[in-house]
Amino acid sequence: MKRELTCIVCPIGCSLTAEIENGKVVSVTGNTCPKGKAYAESECVNPMRVVTTTVKTVNGEPVPVKTDRAIPKDKVFEAMKLINKVRIQLPISVGDVIIEDVFGSNIVAVKNVGGENIE
Protein backbone atom coordinates (compact mmCIF):
# COMPACT_ATOMS: atom_id res chain seq x y z
CA MET A 1 0.00 0.00 0.00
CA LYS A 2 1.22 3.52 -0.79
CA ARG A 3 0.37 6.69 1.06
CA GLU A 4 0.96 10.20 -0.28
CA LEU A 5 1.90 12.86 2.31
CA THR A 6 3.12 16.43 2.43
CA CYS A 7 5.88 16.87 4.97
CA ILE A 8 5.13 19.55 7.59
CA VAL A 9 8.47 19.50 9.42
CA CYS A 10 9.98 22.46 7.53
CA PRO A 11 8.79 25.11 5.05
CA ILE A 12 9.87 23.12 1.97
CA GLY A 13 6.79 20.86 2.19
CA CYS A 14 8.19 17.85 0.34
CA SER A 15 5.73 15.54 -1.40
CA LEU A 16 6.36 12.16 0.19
CA THR A 17 5.35 8.68 -0.82
CA ALA A 18 5.42 6.05 1.91
CA GLU A 19 5.17 2.39 1.05
CA ILE A 20 3.56 0.35 3.81
CA GLU A 21 3.64 -3.43 4.19
CA ASN A 22 2.18 -5.36 7.14
CA GLY A 23 1.63 -2.15 9.09
CA LYS A 24 5.25 -1.00 8.72
CA VAL A 25 6.77 1.67 6.52
CA VAL A 26 9.26 -0.06 4.24
CA SER A 27 10.30 2.94 2.15
CA VAL A 28 9.86 6.70 1.90
CA THR A 29 10.61 8.70 -1.23
CA GLY A 30 10.40 12.39 -2.07
CA ASN A 31 12.05 13.68 1.10
CA THR A 32 15.00 16.04 0.79
CA CYS A 33 16.23 15.42 4.34
CA PRO A 34 16.09 12.70 7.03
CA LYS A 35 13.37 14.62 8.91
CA GLY A 36 10.92 13.97 6.08
CA LYS A 37 11.53 10.24 6.29
CA ALA A 38 11.02 10.26 10.07
CA TYR A 39 7.83 12.34 9.67
CA ALA A 40 6.36 9.93 7.10
CA GLU A 41 7.17 6.90 9.24
CA SER A 42 5.56 8.45 12.31
CA GLU A 43 2.53 9.77 10.43
CA CYS A 44 1.80 6.40 8.86
CA VAL A 45 2.31 4.26 11.97
CA ASN A 46 1.65 6.47 15.01
CA PRO A 47 0.45 10.00 14.12
CA MET A 48 0.90 12.55 16.91
CA ARG A 49 -0.31 16.14 17.31
CA VAL A 50 0.32 19.12 19.59
CA VAL A 51 -3.05 20.55 20.66
CA THR A 52 -3.34 24.34 20.85
CA THR A 53 -6.56 25.82 22.22
CA THR A 54 -7.93 27.95 25.06
CA VAL A 55 -9.38 27.33 28.51
CA LYS A 56 -11.76 29.68 30.23
CA THR A 57 -11.23 31.43 33.50
CA VAL A 58 -13.98 31.43 36.11
CA ASN A 59 -15.05 34.84 34.75
CA GLY A 60 -15.13 33.55 31.15
CA GLU A 61 -11.89 35.10 29.86
CA PRO A 62 -10.00 32.73 27.52
CA VAL A 63 -6.41 31.74 28.27
CA PRO A 64 -4.33 30.19 25.47
CA VAL A 65 -2.92 26.74 26.26
CA LYS A 66 -1.23 23.83 24.51
CA THR A 67 0.01 20.33 25.16
CA ASP A 68 3.66 20.38 26.21
CA ARG A 69 4.31 17.43 23.90
CA ALA A 70 2.47 15.74 21.09
CA ILE A 71 -0.32 13.29 21.90
CA PRO A 72 -1.75 10.49 19.74
CA LYS A 73 -3.87 11.98 16.97
CA ASP A 74 -6.76 9.67 17.80
CA LYS A 75 -6.90 11.15 21.34
CA VAL A 76 -7.23 14.82 20.31
CA PHE A 77 -11.03 14.97 20.63
CA GLU A 78 -10.95 13.24 24.03
CA ALA A 79 -8.31 15.70 25.17
CA MET A 80 -10.47 18.61 24.02
CA LYS A 81 -13.42 17.28 26.05
CA LEU A 82 -11.22 17.34 29.17
CA ILE A 83 -9.83 20.79 28.39
CA ASN A 84 -13.27 22.28 27.71
CA LYS A 85 -14.50 21.27 31.18
CA VAL A 86 -11.81 23.27 32.99
CA ARG A 87 -12.29 26.72 34.52
CA ILE A 88 -9.20 28.35 36.01
CA GLN A 89 -8.43 31.20 38.41
CA LEU A 90 -6.18 34.10 37.43
CA PRO A 91 -3.35 35.01 37.47
CA ILE A 92 -1.78 32.52 35.10
CA SER A 93 1.84 32.58 33.90
CA VAL A 94 3.46 31.05 30.84
CA GLY A 95 4.30 27.43 31.58
CA ASP A 96 1.78 26.97 34.40
CA VAL A 97 0.36 23.46 34.24
CA ILE A 98 -3.41 23.69 33.80
CA ILE A 99 -4.11 19.94 33.57
CA GLU A 100 -1.60 17.18 34.31
CA ASP A 101 -1.15 14.01 32.25
CA VAL A 102 -3.54 14.26 29.35
CA PHE A 103 -2.51 11.25 27.27
CA GLY A 104 1.12 11.67 28.35
CA SER A 105 1.24 15.45 28.05
CA ASN A 106 0.51 18.36 30.37
CA ILE A 107 -1.76 21.20 29.28
CA VAL A 108 0.22 24.41 29.89
CA ALA A 109 -0.48 28.13 29.63
CA VAL A 110 1.24 29.90 26.74
CA LYS A 111 0.49 33.48 27.83
CA ASN A 112 0.62 35.49 31.03
CA VAL A 113 -2.93 36.53 31.95
CA GLY A 114 -4.13 38.54 34.94
CA GLY A 115 -2.28 39.93 37.92
CA GLU A 116 -0.73 43.37 38.45
CA ASN A 117 2.66 42.79 36.83
CA ILE A 118 1.55 40.21 34.29
CA GLU A 119 0.27 40.80 30.75
- Which CATH number goes with the domain that contains 101? 3.10.530
Amino acid (one-letter) located at 23: G
Same domain, 7 and 39: yes
Residue numbers of the domain that contains 92: 52-109
Is 29 inside any structural domain? yes
Taking 60 as the threshold, does the pLDDT of residue 79 lie above it?
yes
Q: What is the dihedral of CA 95, 36, 18, 52, to 10 degrees?
A: 20
User: What percent of the chain clears pLDDT 70, i.e. is strictly above it?
Assistant: 97
DSSP 3-state of 26 = strand
Is 116 inside any structural domain? no
How many domains in the chain? Answer: 2
Average pLDDT on 81-94 reads 96
Taking 50 as the threshold, does the pLDDT of residue 77 lie above it?
yes
Convert the pLDDT of each residue in 12-54 to its tens digit: 999 999 999 999 999 999 999 999 999 999 999 999 999 999 9
Query: Where are any strands of DSSP class E within the chain?
Result: 2-6, 15-21, 24-29, 48-49, 52-57, 62-67, 71-72, 87-88, 97-102, 105-109
Mean pLDDT of all residues belonging to the chain: 95
The whole-number pLDDT of residue 116 equals 60
Same domain, 61 and 103: yes
